[in-house]
């Protein structure tokens, strides 16, 4: 997998680098739903890592719904771009968005309560 590499100088654990690399490949569209991944052994050899490390990543990604393993066939991408994003990324983006929203509202002279009321009204109108 040319788009997946390990940096042994990076303090990030190898399994986390592999997981992040696979999630990023899906999230950016380099891997698509239904694409077959290399076997655990193939990827371990390619990355020069222990096969147990790759197996752990595959298992973790399967538990989170990103991968699907079909016994005797292989592992396949099961999630779409949005579902494959690393855990917590959506929360971080939402927090950053809310911070910008509240800063803009403050500069415009609106209170948090006014913003929340307006959002509630907007939601009930179905807009």
Quick check: is 102 in a domain? Answer: yes
Q: Does residue 126 register a pLDDT over 70?
A: no
For residue 37, give the DSSP letter. P
Burial of residue 23, with CB atoms counted within 10 A of its CB: 0-12 exposed, 13-18 middle, 19 or more buried: buried
Are residue 117 and residue 69 in the same domain, yes or no?
Answer: no
Task: For 46-88, write each residue's pLDDT tens digit.
Answer: 999 999 999 999 999 999 889 999 999 999 999 876 667 666 6
- Domain span at residue 109 reads 89-124
Number of domains observed in the structure of the chain: 2
Same structural domain, 64 and 110: no
Do 69 and 29 fall within a single domain?
Answer: yes
Domain identity same for 107 and 60: no
> What CA–CA distance (Å, rounded) separates 119 from 125?
10
For residues 54 and 95, state if they share a domain: no
């Amino acid at each position: 997998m040319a788009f997946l590499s390990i940096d042994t100088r990076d303090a990030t654990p190898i399994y986390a680098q592999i997981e992040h690399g696979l999630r990023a490949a899906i999230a950016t569209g380099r891997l698509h739903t239904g694409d077959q991944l290399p076997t655990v052994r193939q990827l371990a050899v390619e990355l020069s890592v222990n096969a147990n490390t790759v197996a752990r990543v595959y298992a973790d990604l399967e538990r989170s719904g990103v991968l699907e393993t079909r016994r005797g066939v292989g592992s396949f991408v099961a999630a779409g771009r949005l579902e494959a994003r690393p855990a917590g990324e959506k929360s971080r983006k939402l927090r950053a968005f809310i911070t910008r929203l509240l800063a803009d509202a403050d500069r415009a002279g609106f209170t948090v309560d006014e913003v929340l009321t307006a959002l509630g009204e907007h939601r009930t109108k179905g807009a």
